[in-house]
Structure 1
């Protein structure tokens, strides 16, 4: 059991606490922009774009650097920087000096810390969990993420109703401090990087080639890039949709998003059982297909009791995505050589997340050009259209546990 392991328990506690704070900020930041500062739909999309732009700028070298460095100090440094950056937002708000450009800058710097932390913690996890526990460990982390997504928006809405949207950002800053303390308490001796290192460019190229030549890693990467376009267009507009199109009060926006995210808990919890019964590859495909169908359901939401449709659609979307994410992450961690794990993770995430800034801007532009609900319909259609990319997985029951030379390339 992963939680019986002290080191994993500390990592899980710190990461889950930090994810709750980040989930609060995911709602509080655009709420502060829209409600407090009167940001436009395009500016709201720009906030999302800024948070993800660092993946395009430094994602690939970050993976190579992570493979050269001990992972825990990198994560600690990221927590400290994020604590300082997000802690300044409520301070400026109290002084009456907060602006939309500053929120965008904070999102950008926070995005840089997220790049390094995300790559490092995925590469660090096998150091605190055995190979046999990887699916269970990833399920626990994904469940923590789902719990954060469930509680975060509700807390953000409650805080916004009581003391304004920026108060949630202050809570986020505090959670980074908790994460840093948990990381400091972990006692794991990390494997030292090789003394003789190739150039940074050579290391980046090695990671890219490893992913590009493997049919399974390549398929997951390409689907992730395509699906993230759809998901980001949708995510960049959902608060505008709830607040302006449906006329939902800030406190209720948080509650609706919290209820909608609850499906992620169920999806993460069910991933292990479903994969044992049906196979990891089949469960991954089932999760993605279910997510696409439920995303479309949410676009038909109406004011008042019609919000139930939004909750059902978003909850189903979260469940399908959470189950698939557990299996995809565990697959990469068990399938790839440990010395390449940082670069494999960053190569995939750069392609996957590199589409997000452009997709966020696209979401804002579409919302203004054709209407917010119509843009959500377009996003759901894009996700459904991306499903054929997963065709190479359809004949598999399980994703392979180890790369087999000659059997997975092509």
Structure 2
């Protein structure tokens, strides 16, 4: 029995190579979430950075998605995914390892932090695109929701444990030494990925193609499908305000609420519990409510809790901040599992890298813009005002989804009808529903569901 067949029968966790992929993700995510606390604290506590400088640091970490996001997909589709992910991990480990070395030598500067953020961000672009493109190669399509749910569980677990440990390490050892955990995490991830046995032939080059043509094919695939367009719009909007939050939350927690580094880590860990709960329940909620419906329901129901962030200065303090983040993170994880699984089912294998990179460009390209906006708002009007703008922004995230064909659907289309759509007769404007469910009557639409494992 093949690896794919065993996965279909036993589930993704029975597959050795998926367990290695999951272990690598756990190591990398754990280290990254330690650094989520430690790196801004290096800037705030050790280098006395302003709010705008912290925002600029956050922007540097994500700028690569905007600058090289599109060509990265074309390059990834021409390479084997696992060796590429290993190289990206090695680059990130070396870059992060330079921070504690410079700190111990007494030569650490904001310029180095910006450079480290840019380098690790660029490596992360290639890693993430390859990672999402490799999963459908490793698992059968009816296991993708379970596989993505397991990966989200790992990420959410790291969000819960990493910041708490990071804050403790900062308080115990100093902020720059806590970054060692991130370098070790990336190194362990590379070791796990290096043990994957799944055969992965090198993609055959197509004669007469160019990088520009490959990028154009990915853009046409995404922009030619209204469901992908609206998911990109909503996610890009959500990421803009997520980056605004990331750029200002450390400044707010330290300088407005007056928390010590250990307490900052505990607040962020408590906030991440929502994501940990959301990951394993995403498939159940999608099955019960419908995968299409849960995409717009999750941000609509949980987004208003973002208003607790600016209110936490005057009532409830850190506990209120953590509660707001926990509920918002729960909705974000449920949303991510549903929409990422749909994208992987929809896309032909040879286009996965370009599809994921195009969407990352559209969705994650807003991150550096949000970070810069957050830093500027916090510098000019205070961290609480920046968080208020962030909270109001989260209320707008579900609007593109509610104005699309998704609002009238229960389940997402699958198979060739979703890839080569024609407009169904639904009484809705053709431009809105093109790319959803082709040539099917109303009974077929009710019965067709995306596999949830």
> What TM-score results when the alignment is normalised by the length of structure 1?
0.97
Does structure 1 conserve the Cα–Cα contact (< 8 Å) formed by 2:40 and 2:54?
A: yes
CA displacement 1:270-326 (0-9 Å, x = unmatched): 101111111111112121113311212232113795221111111001100011101
Does structure 1 conserve the Cα–Cα contact (< 8 Å) formed by 2:160 and 2:270?
A: yes
Match of 1:134 among 144, 147, 164: 144
Cα distance between partner residues in 2 of 1:229 and 1:240:
18
SS at match of 2:398: helix
Pairing 1:2-41 to 2, within 5 Å after superposition: 2-41=12-51
Does structure 1 conserve the Cα–Cα contact (< 8 Å) formed by 2:78 and 2:205?
A: no
What is the aligned partner in structure 2 of residue 49 from structure 1? 59
Cα distance between partner residues in 1 of 2:274 and 2:213:
42
What is the aligned partner in structure 1 of residue 166 from structure 2? 156
CA-CA distance at 1:191 after TM superposition: 4.2
Cα distance between partner residues in 2 of 1:264 and 1:131:
24
CA displacement 1:11-51 (0-9 Å, x = unmatched): 00111110010111111100010011111100000010001
What is the aligned partner in structure 2 of residue 405 from structure 1? 421
> Which structure's CA Rg is the greater one?
2
CA-CA distance at 1:409 after TM superposition: 3.2
CA displacement 1:72-117 (0-9 Å, x = unmatched): 1100100111111111110000000001111111011000000000
Pairing 1:115-126 to 2, within 5 Å after superposition: 115-126=125-136
Determine whether 1:203 maps to 2:203: no
Cα distance between partner residues in 2 of 1:297 and 1:385:
16
SS at match of 1:281: helix
Moved more, 385-394 or 48-57: 385-394
Match of 2:119 among 98, 109, 113: 109
Determine whether 1:90 maps to 2:109: no
Cα distance between partner residues in 1 of 2:120 and 2:66:
14
CA-CA distance at 1:379 after TM superposition: 1.1
- Of Structure 1 and Structure 2, which has the larger fraction of its residues in helix? 1
Does structure 2 conserve the Cα–Cα contact (< 8 Å) formed by 1:50 and 1:107?
A: yes
CA displacement 1:244-266 (0-9 Å, x = unmatched): 01111111000111011111011
What is the aligned partner in structure 2 of residue 212 from structure 1? 223
What is the aligned partner in structure 1 of residue 366 from structure 2? 355
What is the aligned partner in structure 2 of residue 187 from structure 1? 197
Which runs of 5 or more structure 1 residues have no equivalent in the other structure?
A: none
Cα distance between partner residues in 2 of 1:292 and 1:231:
11
List 4+ stretches of structure 1 deviating above 6 A: none
